[in-house]
Amino acid sequence: MKAKPLILVVDDQIDNCLVLEDLLAGSYEVETAADGAAALARLEREPTPDLVMLDVMMPGLDGFEVCRRLHFHPLGRDVPVIFLTGLDSPSDEEYGLSLGADDFIHKPFVAPLVLARVRNVIGRREAALRQRQIAVIEARLAEQQRVADAMQAVIERLTVMNTELERFAFVAAHDLREPLRSVTSFAQLLERHLGDRLDATGRDYLRYVVDGARRMHELIGGLLAYSYVSSNVGPPARVSALAACRVAVESLDAIIRDSQAEIVIGDLPEVQADELPLMQLFQNLVGNAVKFRAPGRPCRVEVSARRGEAEWVFTIRDNGIGFDPEEQDVFELFRRVRPHEGPAGSGVGLAICKRIVQALGGRIWAESHPGQGSAFSFALPSGDSPSLES
């Protein structure tokens, strides 16, 4: 509830102060001061009065001088003033108004007139304060809108730049594949037809050329796949994560049989996603788990899901060679995973996984310990149904 407006009555005649205090107390908080010095001192304390009713004829500082000083005071310049006076000279009123007074009340006091003039002055002050607050709010809203417009313009420029960059990467990678394929083919022909004329060092150099070209071909293929992701993820729909995972595992049948890996797929739910990118996500993560298996122990990969808040959290856990997540961001493009032992990755597969998950409105992270295996988890929106499929 709003506090009553505070009125400071300044008069050296105590009976005048008592009359006004009794008259105003029903609608206002009233304080009194016996002279001009006390009135100015009162301004140094909170709360600031909403109105000063100021006697003109006082010993020491008269009302006119108090009014003049009041309007130079940092806490009093906006406080309205009503003069209390027994003077009838128009020149006195003119002088008081020139000092910034808002009104005059003549003695002896007429109660309805006093209340009406006080109500009018305080009403104008409150209206002015509200208008000032509205102006401040409008200025803030205008600044927020300006910032929002500037951010939107930046977002639009970045979107255009990102689209152009992705297009450039796609075209560059696509156009590089053909000359690279020629390098690989002619290096293999050279090895086939002239390999017996080269010494061991020459054959090693030629093998380095072939291996490097193949490696570059893989990287370019990964870059093409990476560029392809964001522009080819369709609108989300309810899809079966279980079906997507099974198709992904079937596509890895050759490498799974060769490694004699055991793939255990738990109960997986339906989620809000695009089916083809979801299949690619499972394929990359399960394929990585099999690729980085630990020598000397059977490879086991478990795919599971648990319900989170408005999301499903999927985990692909393996007992492979592992890596140290503190040493590297495995989801960074072209960041080749440095595992505890064994071959390094290409630096594209996990970056593609991250991009797919982000395009599907989710998040992805990894936990791993060298020599003890890894767990890659990603979260996707759950949609409406919390039920699992069997």
Q: Taking the model in full, what pTM does it have?
A: 0.50
Pairing between strand 51-55 and 81-85?
parallel
Portion of the chain with pLDDT greater than 90, in percent: 33
> What is the pLDDT at residue 171?
65
Task: Name the pLDDT band for 387 (thresholds 50, 70, 90).
Answer: very low
Does 201 have pLDDT greater than 90? no
Does 389 have pLDDT greater than 50? no
- Tell the CATH superfamily of the 6-109 domain: Response regulator (3.40.50.2300)
Helix (H) or strand (E) run with residue 135 in it: helix 111-194
Residue 246, Cβ neighbours under 10 Å: how many? 17
pLDDT tens column, 33-89: 999 899 888 888 888 899 999 998 888 888 899 899 988 888 888 899 999 888 778
Give the mean pLDDT of 85-111: 86
> What is the pLDDT at residue 267?
93
CA proximity to 322, closest of 375, 277, 272, 380: 375
pLDDT tens column, 205-224: 877 787 777 777 666 666 66
Taking the alpha carbons of 165, 166, 167, 172 in that order, is the dihedral positive or negative?
Answer: positive
pLDDT tens column, 280-310: 999 999 999 999 898 888 999 999 999 988 8
> What is the pLDDT at residue 314?
96
pLDDT tens column, 178-192: 777 777 787 778 777
Please tell me whether residue 378 adopts helix, strand or coil conformation.
strand
Helix (H) or strand (E) run with residue 6 in it: strand 6-10
pLDDT tens column, 227-242: 666 556 677 888 999 9
Does 170 have pLDDT greater than 90? no
Instruction: Tell the CATH topology of 149-231.
Output: Helix Hairpins (1.10.287)
* Ranges of each domain in the chain: 6-109, 149-231, 237-381
Does 246 have pLDDT greater than 50? yes
Higher-confidence residue of 201 and 327: namely 201
Higher-confidence residue of 92 and 281: namely 281
Average pLDDT, the chain: 83
Give the mean pLDDT of 330-341: 60
Task: Name the pLDDT band for 386 (thresholds 50, 70, 90).
Answer: very low
Does 384 have pLDDT greater than 60? no
- Residue 6 CA to residue 20 CA, distance in Å, equals 13
Helices (H), 43-109: 63-70, 90-98
What are 314's strand-pairing partners? 305, 378
Taking the alpha carbons of 97, 14, 25, 77 in that order, is the dihedral positive or negative?
Answer: positive
Helix (H) or strand (E) run with residue 255 in it: helix 253-259
Window from 1-5, 35-39, 63-67, 105-109 with minimum mean pLDDT: 1-5
> What is the pLDDT at residue 226?
65
Contact yes or no for 121/83 (Cβ under 8 A): no
- Residue 343 CA to residue 345 CA, distance in Å, equals 7
Window from 68-77, 226-235, 315-324, 326-335 with minimum mean pLDDT: 226-235
Q: What angle do CA 104, 106, 107 make, to 5 degrees?
A: 145
Instruction: Tell the CATH topology of 237-381.
Output: Heat Shock Protein 90 (3.30.565)
